[in-house]
Amino acid sequence: MQETARSQQATASPLSTPDTGGDFLLYDGDCPACSAYVATARLRQLYPGLRIVSARSEPTLVAELRSKGCEINEGMVLCLDGAIHFGADATRMIAVLGRASPSRWRRAALGFVGTAPWARPLYPWLNRGRQLLLRLLGRRPIG
């Protein structure tokens, strides 16, 4: 991963890395808001070695992360270089990684949600909005 991301991993959760075979981003692939944020970041193009995984297709990984305190219905999980970033920390790190994008618009959009001063206090409200959106769309929480 880029040096900026590595230098910021000290703020990550001290959880041990799940046995997944490398760096990954675990998110709710059925959530339009989550999918839009992940698509905006263009992490697949910027970091081809990063696995982008829908939590709904990885029940074993979801269970392993839950046992370590990461409830996937409460936030995304980004694992980089052995450090686990969860929730607001994951969205912040996605924004940090997205700084490699040549698009000013993309960097600004990611920063607005991930690295702005209001990002951490706003995150629980964004998650509540996400849960409401899923209910309105008739989609269940991740089991």
Are residues 27 and 127 in contact, defined by beta-carbon separation less than 8 angstroms? no
pLDDT profile of the chain (143 residues), mean per 10: 39 48 91 91 88 95 94 94 92 88 84 82 92 95 90
Distance CA(112)–CA(109), nearest Å, equals: 5
Predicted local confidence at residue 33, as pLDDT: 92
Model confidence, pTM: 0.80
Runs of H (alpha helix) within the chain: 3-7, 32-41, 43-46, 59-67, 88-98, 104-114, 119-136
Where exactly are the structural domains of the chain?
3-136
User: What is the separation, in whole angstroms, between the first and last Cα of the chain?
Assistant: 31
